[in-house]
Amino acid sequence: ETGVTQSPTHLIKTRGQQVTLRCSSQSGHNTVSWYQQALGQGPQFIFQYYREEENGRGNFPPRFSGLQFPNYSSELNVNALELDDSALYLCASSLGALPPGNTIYFGEGSWLTVV
């Protein structure tokens, strides 16, 4: 167990709707990153938050946004859902903006299906 928990585990949304996914990071970890893993693919980096500020972003449109709270938990918000947004969304936490060893610890993910 990595101590990173995500909710909900599964959810189904309709195209055009909005969704919020939540992540509670491992105790003491102040950095959270989010990844999208489409079926049969490896995870792709969405963005990263350090001390409540976004400090790195992958190739995802602005309708993917996030928040990090003072307790370092995080949310991923996706607006105007598209069918291609159907994927496993993984949260990962770590300590520090410049990680020693670059090691991150993943949660079990949230399965999003857009119909």
Partner 1 sequence: AQTVTQSQPEMSVQEAETVTLSCTYDTSESDYYLFWYKQPPSRQMILVIRQEAYKQQNATENRFSVNFQKAAKSFSLKISDSQLGDAAMYFCASSRAGTYKYIFGTGTRLKVLA
One-character DSSP codes across 70-104 = TTS-EEEEE-S--GGG-EEEEEEEESSSS-GGG--
CA separation for the pair 90, 68 (Å, rounded): 15
Note whether 58 binds partner 1 by CB under 8 A: yes
Q: Which of 11, 13, 22, 44 binds partner 1 (CB under 8 A)?
A: 44
User: Do residues 13 and 81 lie in contact, with contact meaning Cβ atoms separated by under 8 Å?
Assistant: yes
Note whether 31 binds partner 1 by CB under 8 A: yes
CA separation for the pair 106, 8 (Å, rounded): 15
Binding mask 61-80 for partner 1 (x = CB under 8 A): --------------------
In angstroms, what is the C-alpha Rg of the chain? 13
Q: Which of 19, 81, 92, 112 binds partner 1 (CB under 8 A)?
A: 92
Note whether 35 binds partner 1 by CB under 8 A: yes
Q: Which residues contact partner 1 (rule: CB under 8 A)?
A: 2, 31, 33, 35, 40-45, 48, 56, 58, 88, 90, 92, 94, 98-99, 101-109
